[in-house]
Every structure is written in C-alpha cells, then in structure tokens.
Homo-oligomer: A and B are copies of this chain.
Amino acid sequence: MSELTLKAEKLDAEDELAALRDRFVLDEVVYLDGNSLGALPVTVPDRVADVVRRQWGELRIRSWEESGWWTAPERTGDLIAPLVGAAPGQIVVGDSTSVNVFKALVAAVRMARGTGGDGRDEILVDATTFPTDGYIAQSAARMTGCTLRPVTPAEVPGALTDRTAAVLVNHVDYRTGRLHDLPSLTAAVHEAGAYAVWDLCHSAGALPVGLDQHGVDLAVGCTYKYLNGGPGSPAYLYVRRDLQDRFDSPLPGWNSHAEPFGMRPDYEPAAGVLRGRVGTPDILSLLALQAALEVWDGVSIEAVRAKSLALTDFFLECVAEYVPAGRVESLTPTAHEERGSQVALRCSPELSASLEQGGTPFAGDVMKRLIERGVVGDFRHPDVLRFGFTPLYVGFAEVERAARVLGETLA
C-alpha cells in the first residue's frame, strides 16, 4: 500500500460526513461530475412515484391544493434558503437558470433606475462566466437600453461608475473553479449605487454563501449540481427581502399575481418573493427536488465546506504524486479562500498538440479513457479536465483512485 492510500484510509475513517453517502444511489464508479449532475438521492424514486401515481393519477386536479402543489415553488425555496444563508421567504424555485438570470438582471436595472439613477445605463457582466449568463445579459441590456461591458470579477471594482446599473458575477468560475470574493465585490457594487446579481450554480451546496449576511441583492442558481435535484431540475431566484417590493419582473406571469385565480385583466404583483414566479410550476421536477433536499437534514454547510477543501487538497496532492511532471497544470487556485469545490487541470500544450487524436481534443480523449476506467469527470473545451467533488458522497479513497488512474492514463 502506498503512503497516499494509507492517508486516504485515515481521512475516510475520520470523515464525519462519510455516512451521508448512503443517502445516494451510487456504485463502484468514482463520480466526480456532481458539479454537472448530482447523483440520485435514495428518497427520490419513491417520492416521484407517489407524485405520479397518487397525487396526479388519483387526486388529479385536487392535488393543486391537497398535495401542496401550488405553494411548492416557495416551499422548496425555503428548503434551499439555509444552504445559501438566506432567511425564509426570499427564494422561489422555478424556470431555468437562464430565465432567472433574465428576471434578476432586468429587475436589478429597474431597481437602479428607480432609486434616482435614471442615467444608469451599463451592466457589468463577468467576462469569465458560463456563457448563458453572458448571452442573457446581452438580451437584458438590449431590452433595457443598457450597454453590456464584460469584465473579469477582479476588474469589477475598477469598472464601477455612476452609470453602472447592475453587475452579474459568478460565485465560482465554472471552468477554473475559482471562488470569487462575494462579500467585497457586493460591497463595492453597493458603494457605486448599483445592484449585484450573483450566480450560485457552482457554489450553492458546496460552500457557505451568506446571501443575507453580505447583503446580496439578487441571486440565481441551478439545483442539479451540488443540490442533486435531477437532470434539468428547476432553478431558483433569491430577492433580498427589503428589495421585494421593488422587484419589477420582466416575466409577470399569472403565478406572480397578487390574486392568481381572480383572473383579472390588470396585473398586480404578489407580495414578497412570489412575484418572482412566472407560469404554472413544473410539479414533477419540483417535488423530486424537494425530496432530494432531504439529504441535507442535519448537515451543516460549514462541515461540507471543510470536507470539500480537504478533498480538493488531497486530490491536488495525489495528482502531484501520480501524474508525471509537466503533463497537467491546475487552473484552480491553491488558496482556500479562492477555491470552489472542483479542480480543473489543463493539459500541457505540448501534450495537447502532440497527441491530438484525429480531431478529438487531447483532453477530451483523456476524459473518455478515464470514464472507461470508472473515473467520471468532464471535459471543457479545449484542454481542461474538470473534476467536481461533492462532499456529501465523495470519499478520500475515491480521490486517490481518480488521481492514480489519471496518472496512469497520462503516463
């Protein structure tokens, strides 16, 4: 047994969250892609079956009231709230992340203009963002008469002016795994009189976010990564309580009306975060997500964060040991305060160039071979191997095995 195998055993033995793995359906595969699609929680299949067979099949239309379907978006939001540091009543679940980015960003611009900032006509967007945020921000800018200015998160403070209406930033970079400084960036945005919209897709469920504590204005996130809601499960929208009265949605569907069943021709927004709702909620997916969120019972996000850092630290240590020098470099920051819950390894330019397989990027080919050997991460164009570490179900022996297989593949 190697030293690292022994260390893995010791870390697993000391892992206070180790038992949580039983809350998921897993097998012998080392699944390091929970930052793309979380594993299936064991409670979900029976819950979904009940929703389909009994709530829909037997109660049918009565379930809108009797099974609590109608209020599922806000109730599910309240289940997510403690994971992102939000008091209840500030999150609704529904629609995709893209649609929620649109709602949040347009609403942020309207808030900025509503507070005497009529001249505010610029949106800053994270230049390193997962592309959909940039595309949607472009549309939000176009439809609110703003210009869109892409800047890196580090450049945000210097780019803020009295023309800035809103700033859209990712909490964790989807590609590199870099964790951005939410408290100080939010403070800088506020200092400039603008509104901050945070995309939590790659942080929620992996580390503390502290939305309320840091005064974040609006936030969005998906639920199918570290929240394990299932493929394409609905996203969420956070609107800070004291801003809810000023949340002016560009998608004022009937579900956001003060009296949805009044069937009134005139729109009157509901009180509170309910005005972030749009159309009829997608019940199957929402209730699957509700069941999935039960894996968090009794789990503190601080403990999750501690294990996440231990996992990524250990992975980097194993990679350094097992992968021949110079073959990969980590794009993920070494400093804990700058690291999310993933490690992104860039294949060296020499390797990428010399071994490119008839059109398939080298890194894509490496990931394919890893998957064949039971280590699942993902590939991000053109040369990045991405490994996500879900503290709820990934163990240290798995981390050691993943790095070892990677080393053998790159040897």
Q: Give me the interface of A with B, judged by CB distance under 8 Å.
A: 25, 27, 31, 33, 36-37, 39-40, 44-45, 48-49, 52-53, 55-58, 60-64, 69, 94-99, 102, 106, 127, 130-132, 134-136, 138-139, 143-144, 150, 175, 222, 224, 230-235, 249-255, 257, 261-265, 267, 278-286, 288, 371, 376, 378, 380-381
The number of times this chain is found in the oligomer is: 2
Question: Measured between alpha carbons, how far is A308 from B311 in the docked complex, in Å?
Answer: 61
Q: How far is the CB of A100 from chain B (nearest CB, A)?
A: 9
- Residue from the list B53, B55, B288 in contact with A284, Cβ < 8 A: B288
The chain B residue with its CB closest to the CB of A44 is B52
A-B pairs with the 4 shortest C-beta distances?
Answer: A96-B279, A98-B253, A98-B279, A231-B283
Known contacts A60-B39, A257-B131; A282 and B282 CB within 8 A of each other: yes
A233 proximity list for chain B (CB < 8 A)? 282, 284
- Residue from the list B55, B127, B231, B288 in contact with A63, Cβ < 8 A: B231
Pair B131/A99 contact, Cβ less than 8 Å: no
A278 proximity list for chain B (CB < 8 A)? 96, 98-99
Pair A279/B45 contact, Cβ less than 8 Å: no
A98 proximity list for chain B (CB < 8 A)? 251, 253-255, 278-279
Question: Measured between alpha carbons, how far is A369 from B138 in the docked complex, in Å?
Answer: 53
Question: Measured between alpha carbons, how far is A27 from B62 in the docked complex, in Å?
Answer: 15
Question: Measured between alpha carbons, how far is A282 from B279 in the docked complex, in Å?
Answer: 15
A69 proximity list for chain B (CB < 8 A)? 231-232
Known contacts A95-B95, A230-B283, A279-B235; A27 and B58 CB within 8 A of each other: yes
Known contacts A58-B27, A283-B230; A136 and B252 CB within 8 A of each other: yes
Q: How far is the CB of A192 from chain B (nearest CB, A)?
A: 24
A127 proximity list for chain B (CB < 8 A)? 265
Question: Measured between alpha carbons, how far is A384 from B127 in the docked complex, in Å?
Answer: 54
Interface centre among A27, A106, A230, A381 (most CB of B within 10 A): A230
Pair A253/B136 contact, Cβ less than 8 Å: yes
Pair B27/A254 contact, Cβ less than 8 Å: no
A282 proximity list for chain B (CB < 8 A)? 96, 231-234, 282, 285
Pair A254/B48 contact, Cβ less than 8 Å: no
Interface centre among A25, A57, A380 (most CB of B within 10 A): A57
- Residue from the list B48, B99, B106, B150 in contact with A52, Cβ < 8 A: B48
Pair B52/A31 contact, Cβ less than 8 Å: no
Q: How far is the CB of A386 from chain B (nearest CB, A)?
A: 12
Interface centre among A135, A255, A262 (most CB of B within 10 A): A135
Pair B254/A132 contact, Cβ less than 8 Å: yes
A63 proximity list for chain B (CB < 8 A)? 231
Pair A134/B265 contact, Cβ less than 8 Å: yes
Pair B138/A267 contact, Cβ less than 8 Å: yes
